[in-house]
Amino acid sequence: MIDFTLTEQQKNIRDFLHWFAETEIRPIAREADRLGDVPPGFFKKVKAMGISMEAIPKDVGGEGEGAGEVKDRRGQRQTNRLSVIASEEMAWGDPAVVITLPGPGLGGPPVRLIGTPEQKERFFSVFRAEEPRWAAYAMTEPEAGSDVAGIRTTARKEGDVYVLNGTKTFITNGARASWNVVFATVDKSLGRAGHRAFVVENDRPGFKVTRIMKKMGLRASETAEFVLDDCEVPADNLLGGEEHYQRQGKEGFKVAMATFDSTRPVVAAMGVGIARAAMEYAADYLKQNLMLDRPVPAYSRIRETLAEMKRKLDAARLLIWRAAWMADAGLPNSREAAMAKAYAGRVATDVCTLAVELMGPEGASRDHPVEKCFRDVKVYDIFEGTGEIMRVIISRRVFQALGEAG
C-alpha cells in the first residue's frame, strides 16, 4: 500500500531546502532573471553546502548516495521521493536558479543506468573538482523534440572512434557542461534500434556551441544549441559499450525513456512549486488589500478560486508522489510519470494565470513575483515531453492494459 506520510528524514530535508530557497535563492532570483544568469559566487556557496542537482554516487567517490541508493530507516528506497520533495521546495524559491545548480543534472541518470564502472568513474570524477562543474542531456533537435524516435544526429564508426554529426538544441546547461550525454543513430533504417548514447566532452574538436537561447521565462537558466561537425568521440565513450547494445537491441531508446520516467515527476514537482509560490503570494496580497471575510459576491468568487487552486495543486502533488513511489519500488511507471507531468504542467500554468488575474493589473507588474511565475511556468507543460505527448503515452498504456485484460 502506498504511504504518503513523510518520514522525519524527509520532513527535515524538505524544511532545510525550504529555508535554503527562502534565504539563499529568492534574494537573488529577480536580479538573476534580469541579468540572464546566476551570480558565480552562488555556485561556490551551494557546492560548499553539498547541494547539487544530482548526488554523486559513493561508489565513485562522491558524497551523495546516488540514484537508487538512498533509503529510509525502514530500508525502503526513497531517492525519487526525495527528489520530487526537494524539487518542489527549491522551485518555490526560483526554478531558473534550481536547474542551473552544478552537478550531473539530467546527464547523470543515463550514465548510472548503463554506464560501465570505468565510465562512471571517469565521467563522475569531474565533479570532485573544487570549482563547480555541470553535465547535460542532449536529446532535442530542431526537427526532433517530442518525437524522440526521430533524432537525426548520426554516429559513424571509424576505427576506434565514432564520428558524430548533427545539431542539438534547447539543452539546459549545454554550453557550460563538462560533458553532454548525446543521443545519435548509427543507422536510421534501424529506427529505435539504431539509437546510441554517447558522452561527449565539450572540449572535443567538432563540438561547437552556436547560440544561447533567449527565453520568455527561466531567463537565468542557460539553454544552449550546439553543433557536432565531424566530432570524433572515442569508442570508450559509448555508454555501456558495443556489446551492451548487441545484447539489448533498442537499449539507446530505452535509456532515453527510462530517464524520462524518473525525471518527469521531478519536472512536474517543480511546476507545482512555482504555482504554489504564485498562489501563496496572491492569497497574501488579497488578504492585505481586501476584507475577504465580508459577504461580498466578488469576494466569495475569490475564495472559491483560491480553494480550486489549492485543490488542483494537491491533486497534482499526489500524482507526482505516486509516480516517484513506484520508481523507488522498482515498478514500471511510464504511464504514471506521464500522468503526473501532463496534469501538473497544465494545472501549474492555470494556477499561475489565476494568480495574475486575482491580483488584477498588479499581477502583471514586475513589482510582484507572480508575473515572473507566469513566465517561468509555461515551459513546464512543454519540456521533458509536451502535454500532448504525455496524453499519447497515457492513452497508449490504457489500450495496452485493455488488450492484456481481454
d(CA 200, CA 49): 29
Is residue 334 within 8 A of residue 265, CB to CB? The reply is no
Q: Which of 323, 365, 373 is nearest to 348 (CA)?
A: 373
Burial of 134 (0-12, 13-18, 19+ CB in 10 A): buried
Rounded Cα–Cα distance for residues 62 and 64 (Å): 6
Q: Known catalytic residue: 357?
A: no
Please, how many CA atoms are within 13 Å of residue 146, restricted to the half-sphere of its CB? 13
Minimal CA–CA distance to 231: which of 203, 205, 210, 208?
205
Residue in 304, 384, 388, 404 annotated catalytic: 384
Helices (runs of H) and strands (runs of E) counted in the chain: 13, 7
3 state DSSP class of 252: helix
Catalytic residues: 384
